[in-house]
Amino acid sequence: MVSRRSLYLLPEEIVGALVVDSEGYVYGRVEEVKVEGNKVTLAASIEVDVGDEVVDEDALRRRLAERGFNVHSLNLQELVSLAREEGLTPPRKKAERREKIVKGFFPVEEIAWIDKGFDEYIILLSTPREAKYRGIKEHRKPSYREVKNKLALSISRGFFGVVVGVAIGPGELAIRVSPSPSMINWLKFTAELRRRGYGRLEEKFSELINPYKNPKIDVRELSKVKEVMENAPKEVNELLRECMEWGEYVHVPWRQVLKVGDVVILE
């Protein structure tokens, strides 16, 4: 993977960065940086909400131990990889509470680039680490039906923006990408929260920013609700993105779309 010139960050700066693998799948966020001699590795974790399906790590350890493997020192990523090598489907369970799970470690050598977008750091890996974790073996041809509202990351240009739609041009399709949102339909967001059963959350948001006095807000106003948003379920964060309205944009020809996973990978 030929990548762009990267940002360089101190260990304390890189904690919390979003980690995306080479297939466009989110591996997690940086939890910590470990330095052992000349070897530097980064731990990636994921946050799960109540009811989310996750790998049952304890059950997986028992199954592998029963087959004679020493699994005491293996992390979750290594357990899943070993299970797949053995032809085992990792058992799953539903999370009973919101929790953070350390998925595994990756060496600094796997980092293709580090960039910043939407006020957070993003790491693109040169390996299909998350694809392997999910058991995705074959790369499907990208579909233009699966790109809307996803981050767009360019191998050669770094963070590109968010895909806001598919555009039609002379003889080809293109994706419309905006580098940043300009406004949020706050009234639509709070109304949809109530409709989906998030009444208490809607009250908290509305107390901080009245949706009837402020039906649309500048994205910078989100700093007022940052703490509430950070503790909200993933569905709420996804809904917020759906209520964003985009300003400036560029068009990227479809032929430059390499992969579509959780994010869109461009040339």
Q: What are 161-216's pLDDT values in tens digits?
A: 999 999 999 999 999 999 888 899 999 999 999 999 999 999 999 999 999 999 99
- How many whole angstroms separate alpha carbon 185 and alpha carbon 242? 9
CATH of the domain at 114: 2.30.30.240
Residue 1 within a domain: no
Helices (H) and strands (E) counted in the chain, each on its own, are 8, 17
DSSP letter at 200 equals H
Per-residue pLDDT tens over the stretch 144-153: 889 998 999 9
Q: Are residues 125 and 112 in the same domain?
A: yes
**Burial (CB count <10 Å: 0-12, 13-18, 19+), residue 158:** buried
Q: Are residues 61 and 158 in the same domain?
A: no
Number of domains in the chain: 3
Helix H or strand E encompassing 83: helix 76-85
Query: Residue 171 belongs to what domain range?
Result: 144-180+247-266
Q: Are residues 27 and 42 in the same domain?
A: yes
The residue type at 214: N
Q: Are residues 260 and 163 in the same domain?
A: yes
Q: Percent of the chain, pLDDT > 70? A: 97
Q: Band the pLDDT of 2: cuts 50, 70, 90.
A: low
- How many whole angstroms separate alpha carbon 20 and alpha carbon 26? 4
Residue 5 within a domain: no
* Low-confidence winner among 48-52, 102-106, 118-122 (lowest mean pLDDT): 48-52
Q: Are residues 38 and 84 in the same domain?
A: yes
| Token pair in block for residue 247 | 């300003």
Please give the average per-residue pLDDT across 234-261, as a whole number.
91
Predicted pLDDT of residue 209: 96
Q: What is the mean pLDDT of the chain?
A: 92
Full-model pTM: 0.83
**Helix, strand, or coil here: 149?**
coil
Q: Are residues 151 and 68 in the same domain?
A: no
Residue 2 within a domain: no
